[in-house]
Each structure stands twice: as C-alpha cells, then as structure tokens.
Amino acid sequence: MAQGVTERRTPLHRVAADLAALFAPPGVEGGTPSRTSVVLLIQLRWIAVFGQLATIVVAAAVLRVRLPLAPLLLAPLLLIVINLAAAKVVVQAKAFSQRELFSALMIDVVALCWQLYYSGGATNPFTFLFLLQIVIGAIILEARWSWLVALNACLCMAFLTFRYEPLQLPPHFATDQFRLYIYGSLFCFVLAAVLLIVFVVRLDRSRRESDARLAAYYRQAAEEDHIIRMGLLASGAAHELGTPLSSISVILGDWSHEPTITADPEMAADLADVRRELERCKTIVSGILMSAGELRGVDPAVTSVRGFVEDLADEWSARIPGELRVIDRLPEDVEIIADPGLRQIVGNVIDNAIEVSPDLVLFEVWLEGDAAERRMIFTVSDRGPGFAPEVLNRIGQPYISTKGRDGGGLGLFLVVNVIRKLGGTVSVENRASGGASVQLAIPLATLALEEQEQRQGKR
C-alpha cells in the first residue's frame, strides 16, 4: 500500500480477520491447551452449523419431511452469532478456565437438544451425537466438569424420550420408519467418526507441540543454569587475573616513560601495541562477566542507534586488516541507552565474522515493526565458508563451533542468551552467495530512553 494511504477496516474486515486467526493452526505461539480446546470447539460448532443446515435442506427438499423450519433454523443462526462473538474473545485471550470450557460445550449440548426436540426427540438417530459431546468433555475437561457434561447430556436424553415434537413423515416413510432410522444412524455414525478423528488428532498435535515447547523451556533453563556456572567461574577468573593485569599495566606505564624506550620509535610502538592488547584483555574479561550476568546497568550511556553503530564501526575498523562496511538503513535515528555489555555482544558477532572473513564484513542496521513492537535489527554477514548443517541447527548451544578448538562455541552461546534476556531473538543462516549471516533483533522498548525513564520513575 502506498505511503500516506490509510486502510479502512469495516466491521466485516474485522470479523474476517478474527475468523482467519481462529482457523490458524492450534499450536501457534502464545497458545495454551485451554485456548486450543476452545478454538477446536468453535471450529466443530461451525461444522455443526453447516451440517444442521444441510440436514434440514435434505430432509425437507429431498425426503419431503415436514419440518418446523422456524425453530429448527433458529438454533444454527444463534450458533453463528455466538461463534462470531466468541471469535473476538478467543483471538485476544490466552487461556480459559474450566468453567468457560464447560459453558462453551454446554452451548452445543443445549443447541442439539433444541434441534432434536423439534425433529422427533429420542426417535431421531442424531441423539447419538450426545455421546460425541460427552467424549469431547472427557478429553478437554477435568473429571468433575466432564461428569457434569455427561449428566446434562443424560438429562437432555431423558427429556427427549418423553417430550418431543414427532416428525411428520411422507407416506412412503411413515409405513417403514425403521428404514429411515437406519439411514439416519449410518449418517450419524459416519459424522461422529469424522468429527472425533478431526478433534482428537488436532488435540494430539497440540499436545505434542506443547511438549516440544516445554522441552525448549527446560533446555533454556539448563542453558541459563550453565550461564550462572560460567558466571561464577568467570568471576573467580576475573579476581585472579585482576591483580596481575593491573601490575602489568603499571609496569608498562612506567616503561613508557623510560628514556631508552622513548628514544626508540620501534620499541615505543611495540609497547603501545602491548598496552592496547592488555586493555583489550581487560575488556574481554569484563565483557564475559557482563554476558554471564545481568547486562544492563553497567556504565549506561545515552546515545542513538546510529551513534552506537558508528562508534562500534570506528572501534572495529581500526582492528581489522580489511573493511567493515556499514550499511545504514535507518529511516530515522532513535535515542537509546546502551552500555559496554551491549557493545561487547554485538562486537562478539563481528569478531567471529572477522576470523573467517578478514577482507570484508558487512554490518547492517535497520528498524522494523510498528510503534508498539519496534525492533532494532543488527545483521553481520561474512564471506567465509558458512556454518555446517549440523552446526547450523544447534547454534546457541554451548561448545558448538566450527573452529575445532577446545572451549569454542561459547561466543554465540552467550550472544543468544543475552539477546534472549533482552526479549530479542538471534537467527543464523548461510547466504546463497556464500558466507554466513547472523541477525540480532532487539525490542527497541528494552533500550529506549523513554522506557528507562518510566522504569526509574516507578522505582
């Protein structure tokens, strides 16, 4: 759509959007077992509506059965209204209580009882559909609620046994009602079998997807526990390394004033290189500590996305023999609060790319999403050999690396977990033109200046 053109959303558009969301696969992100059950109940109710309308048409037009059309058509019309109203609630809700699930199922029980009352009561073979609703209740509800569904279905069946409006059959069926009952029973059996397969299969798929998500949560918890242990080890190492690094720094500072060294430009340049590498060692140790612990709150500084990228590019351009090419796709500059930890995480990805592609590394940045869910995207691409398929599927796990050295694979492991703490994601892929690409997506609200001021105000 062209810029400046506003899309008009009519109530019909909104209803269509809600229905499209309802008929999405049940295992979507943010879904819960109870929400999946409600979605499937609504989908089955749509099937019931069309089935009831088709049955009424066939019975009246083909079989020539005289039906009270007004009350029989009232039930599917009410179910359509209920489904359209429920679509909005289901799309917005994340979970439902047992009482709500029970109420949703009882709507179908009452609607079926109403339909059967005006179409022969217990003499109608479609009374067996009560068993389908009892089975569904036993699957999605707790024991006491499923018993209530069974009790209400039995009460409806008892009522329909003694009170109902008899069907006015045409002469060729009136003399042999059992034959019509057999045909109806066959159709009811096939319908119940199909609905049960659809419902149970989709519930089983949802259960397997829930198990997969639960396994992912367990894996994430294990990885975070691994980070804690790494943080403890890093903390101990930092204490051990702090004293000798400080002593070396003092000694090198004294040497820099020695006349012998100052008089020799080559020795002075070597000493400057050693001091620079020493500072880098201290920065790396600090970065590991921040990556293993809490990222925010360590020397934060107000800057902008573009300023952060430019500072990072200036720092790394001086370290590499080739080119770090920055591709700025920012439509506008946004103020953020950044700290050395964030710089260390992005720098870690750049460092990995430089190791395999020292001649050229591409560093792209842009913003995506609407105002409420805007994300800052960093993409680092190289011209190296790319990731092996077995490694590509396990990126972010500790000690998974293509470098073939002991302790490798911790860099991206820390990156993935720190970005995940910030509410973002990390995606890795091999480029079609060669090399690999690592993309960091960070919610802008996590780093936005206004968000941080609001948090401080609440404190």
In contact, 440 and 388? CB cutoff 8 Å: no
d(CA 371, CA 157): 55
- Which range (50-59, 114-123, 238-247) has the least confidence? 238-247
d(CA 256, CA 231): 35
Higher pLDDT, 293 or 257: 257
Overall average pLDDT of the 351-379 stretch: 87
Residue 161 pLDDT grade (very low, low, confident, very high; cuts 50, 70, 90): very high
What number of other Cβ atoms are within 10 A of residue 314's Cβ? 11
- Output the CA–CA distances (angstroms, integers) from residue 315 to 18, 194, 344, in the order listed: 49, 65, 11
- Considering the chain, what is the average pLDDT of its residues? 77
**Does the pLDDT value for residue 295 go beyond 50?**
no
The pLDDT value given to residue 157: 92
Burial class (CB in 10 A: 0-12, 13-18, 19+), 412: buried
Higher pLDDT, 250 or 305: 305
* Radius of gyration in angstroms for the set of CA atoms belonging to the chain, rounded to a whole number: 34
The pLDDT value given to residue 179: 76
In contact, 51 and 108? CB cutoff 8 Å: no
The tokens describing 365, both together, are: 């940045």
Residue 12 pLDDT grade (very low, low, confident, very high; cuts 50, 70, 90): very low
pLDDT tens by residue, 20-38: 444 444 443 345 777 878 8
Residue 207 pLDDT grade (very low, low, confident, very high; cuts 50, 70, 90): confident
The pLDDT value given to residue 296: 42
pLDDT tens by residue, 112-124: 999 899 988 888 8
The tokens describing 396, both together, are: 């972010």
d(CA 333, CA 321): 30
**Does the pLDDT value for residue 216 go beyond 50?**
yes
Q: What percentage of the chain carries pLDDT values higher than 70?
A: 78
pTM metric for this prediction? 0.47
The pLDDT value given to residue 147: 94
Nearest CA-CA partner of 322 in 279, 377, 383: 383
Please tell me whether residue 44 adopts helix, strand or coil conformation: helix
- Output the CA–CA distances (angstroms, integers) from residue 189 to 58, 131, 195, in the order listed: 17, 11, 10
d(CA 313, CA 315): 5
CA angle 198, 204, 210 (to 5 degrees): 135
In contact, 60 and 166? CB cutoff 8 Å: no
**Does the pLDDT value for residue 368 go beyond 70?**
yes
- Out of 3.30.2350.10, 3.30.565.10, 1.10.150.120, 3.10.129.10, select the CATH number for domain 301-458: 3.30.565.10
pLDDT tens by residue, 371-415: 778 889 999 999 988 888 777 777 766 655 555 544 455 667 777
CA angle 366, 372, 378 (to 5 degrees): 20
Please state the domain extents for the chain: 11-175, 220-292, 301-458
Higher pLDDT, 413 or 47: 47
**Does the pLDDT value for residue 268 go beyond 90?**
no
Please tell me whether residue 139 adopts helix, strand or coil conformation: helix
The pLDDT value given to residue 154: 94
